[in-house]
Amino acid sequence: MFSRTLWQQHFKQTKWILIALWLMTLFLLPYEYYNAALSTEWQRLQSGESYSYSYYWEPSGAILLQIAAVVALACALIGWARANQMMDILWSMPFSRRSIFLSQWAFGISHLLLLHAVSWGFMFLVKKTTIHDLYQDFTVWSIYFFLSFAALSAVFSLTLFVGTMTGNIVSQAVLSLILLLLPLGLFSLGNYMYRLHIPEQQPQYYAQMEPIQKAAVALSPAAPFMDLSISYNLDPKGRAPEQPGEQWVSCGALLMPYPVWSLLVSPVYILLSVLIGMRLYERSPNENNGKILLYPLLAKLCLICAAVCCGLVGGAMATGRLIAPAPLLFYAISFIAGCMSYWLLKRLMRLRLAWPGR
């Protein structure tokens, strides 16, 4: 699991992705935090006594880039290793497949842990040496880094698990992204089909489905970041101090509008991904490398499910802009789109992705 030889091989395979992940995170968090402090200090000097401190941050842009980099990291460890014959080299070493898989997982998780620890340290240093220290409580940032580490670890574990079922890097990346969005996608389809058949109950339906929608979104590994924000405002009402030297008390909040149980989603993803992925990696049929999926039975099940989902999505896209509900038209288009998707996906399943030089 912590073999130096294996980790050296993993680093050779992923060094450029790791460099990009580190630079990206340090730029989007500590560096931008420092820039915000400089801007706030300049505003304070310009405003004089009428100054009121405010700070707002949301991780939407940062987390999307981090998720993309983490998915790429896991794809490089398994998917790219299948393409450039690195997996053959790993399997020829005196290590069990279980040890190799666990070393890949530990390698990625260790880098994520170190990255968050270093980023937290730089952020704390910036906070203590800038105007942020006068108004902010760093506890909310500590909570954010904990949530970030848990969520990105879940994304990495899930993508690594997907790599034990797929035969090339492209299918690993695509299937991983689909699984990340699957809970919200299924809810959206169910939501559309329900409104299609019972339009007269739409007002009540929206009120009833709001908690279900939040639960569906919370089932994604990246749930802790959706609509999360950190906000500070020295004077929320915009009132100036009434007496010279009077100070307003700052208020800060880590806003996370999803159920508390969503915090357990990431550990569950990590545990299941590692346990199931380890078993699949031990039984990985190397002769199917290059195909979309390694296991024929799994390929048949995924083919049917993908065709049904593609058909329903096609029907929803075609009839979604109609003024009046049209259930028959929806199902007709869904059937045609599903058949076309099945025909196309079945042929894609037979293909074997080959890379130059193999």
Per the structure block, which two tokens stand in for 243?
């007496």
pLDDT at 266 over 80: yes
**Rounded to an integer, what distance in angstroms lies between the CA atom of residue 307 and that of residue 299?**
12
Position 110 scores a pLDDT of 94
Residues shown for the chain: 358
Position 122 scores a pLDDT of 96
Place 258 in a pLDDT band, splitting at 50, 70 and 90.
low
Q: Is there a contact between 216 and 187 (Cβ–Cβ < 8 Å)? A: yes
Prediction pTM value: 0.85
Position 242 scores a pLDDT of 44
Position 256 scores a pLDDT of 57
Phi, psi of 316 (to 5 degrees): -65, -40
Position 72 scores a pLDDT of 94
The pLDDT tens digits for 2-35 are 677 888 888 888 899 999 999 999 999 999 999 9
The pLDDT tens digits for 288-316 are 777 888 888 888 888 999 999 999 888 88
Place 136 in a pLDDT band, splitting at 50, 70 and 90.
confident
The pLDDT tens digits for 194-248 are 777 776 566 666 677 777 777 777 788 876 666 677 877 765 444 444 443 333 3
Higher pLDDT, 260 or 144: 144
pLDDT at 119 over 90: yes
Instruction: Kindly give, in sequence order, each residue whose CB lies less than 8 Å from that of residue 226, ignoring residues fewer than 6 positions away.
Output: 217, 220, 258
pLDDT at 169 over 80: yes
> Cα angle vertex 182, ends 211, 282, to 5°?
130
Can you spell out the DSSP letters for 64-95? HHHHHHHHHHHHHHTHHHHHTTHHHHHHHSSS
CA-CA-CA-CA torsion sign (171, 173, 176, 178): negative
The pLDDT tens digits for 65-111 are 899 999 999 999 888 877 776 776 777 777 888 888 999 999 999 99
The listed range with the strongest mean pLDDT (41-55, 129-143, 147-161, 259-273) is: 147-161
Position 159 scores a pLDDT of 94
